[in-house]
Amino acid sequence: MDNQTISNVMPRIGDKAPDFEAVTTTGKLKFSDYNKGSWVVFFSHPADFTPVCTTEMSGFATEKEFFAAHNTKLMGLSIDSIHSHIAWVNAVHEKTGVLFEFPIVADIDMSVSKLYGMLQPGESETAAVRAVFIMDPEGKVRLIMYYPLNVGRNMAEIKRTVLALQTSDENKCAMPLDWQPGDKVIVPAPKTVEALAERKKSDLEMVDWYLAKRSL
């Protein structure tokens, strides 16, 4: 983490993802290089060799084909040493057959955790909460989720949000409540009277002039 300014202010949606270099289970990485050209789901866990974290990391690992199919890389983090990470990866693989192939940041000095606001003092001053950051291929933060130490994440929701963000970008649309792949999407509201008149003649599913849906 040489020559980096560390703060406790978390990045916001729409911000450029804070860049960093770190030691990981797959070698030293620079985040901006890892992110380039791909979506990234970057997530923290409180500690190695803990039960909830083991279920979560195993969940990410077993979904590797889904994420790869959608141009999405994974990266984990906790405030543990690289030796702890390697021992944990090995233990889980030996006990369950699940291998954590994605990089896990060894953030023993808490620098990356502070850079991303993963330390929540009211919850813990020494363990990262269960944060999820989704970055697009341009390195912009597109979605943020935070879970407390005692509640595991919802993998189906993480996968759904990746698909929703990608579908929205590709089709210039928005997603309604509980959207799932194959559901209708919301089209942008008309910005002129002429556009409104055209909408009324269209085959869109109209709830009102500002709320219309279509199939992809």
Residues with a known catalytic role: 53
SS3 of residue 143 by DSSP: strand
Task: Using alpha carbons, select from 33, 39, 31 the residue that is nearest to residue 77.
Answer: 31
What are the two backbone dihedrals, phi and then psi, of residue 157, each rounded to the nearest 5 degrees? -70, -35
Which residues are CB-neighbours of 156 under 8 A, at least 6 positions away?
none
Strand ranges inside the chain, DSSP E? 21-24, 27-30, 39-44, 72-78, 104-106, 130-135, 141-147, 185-186, 205-208, 211-214
Structure tokens at 87: 């021992």
Structure tokens at 93: 């693989």
